[in-house]
Amino acid sequence: MSSGAEVFGRLVLDTSAYSHLRRGHEGVLDHLARAELIVVPVIVLGELEAGFELGERSRENSFLLSQFLAEPFVTVRDLTPSVSRHYARVFGQLRRKGRPIPINDVWIAAATLDCGGHLLTLDEDFALVEGLDCTILSPVE
């Protein structure tokens, strides 16, 4: 967990963090301002696009996402064999503990671990992942 004052080399956004960014969440905005690089795992893109597809503002949301991704300080993290190895380790660790989390969250955690990033989320499930450097924000700040 973070102390709230550090600069982040690689700040990884999960779906909840991006959604709250769009709502102007102060904690998310503060963390983004202290990041050197913002990483968006491809799994997060899939979750966002799926949500856009079901929403009433699909085009607007897709456009805003594409603008965000075009920023020079934002990169998309693809799935790689190395991410898959992290996925297997996290998946196994959670299952052995009897504490599984949603599969997409396992992939997001694996991508974060693989890139040596710090995950920003509002989802408490990530607290169950051993060795994951993350900040879990409250939805209301």
User: How far, in Å, CA of 89 to CA of 56, rounded?
Assistant: 38
pLDDT value at residue 104: 97
Whether 93 and 128 have beta carbons less than 8 Å apart is answered as: no
pLDDT value at residue 1: 47
**Span 16-37, mean pLDDT?**
96
Residue 90: which region, alpha, beta or left (left: phi > 0; alpha: psi -120 to 50)?
alpha
pLDDT value at residue 100: 92
pLDDT value at residue 4: 53
From the DSSP assignment, how many helices (H) and strands (E) are in the chain? 6, 5
Q: Which domains does the chain have, with CATH numbers?
A: 8-136 (3.40.50.1010)
pLDDT in tens, 71-128: 999 999 999 999 999 999 999 999 999 999 999 999 999 999 999 999 999 999 999 9
pTM of the model: 0.93
pLDDT value at residue 140: 78
Whether 35 and 11 have beta carbons less than 8 Å apart is answered as: yes
User: How far, in Å, CA of 120 to CA of 22, rounded?
Assistant: 14
pLDDT in tens, 56-85: 999 999 999 999 999 999 999 999 999 999
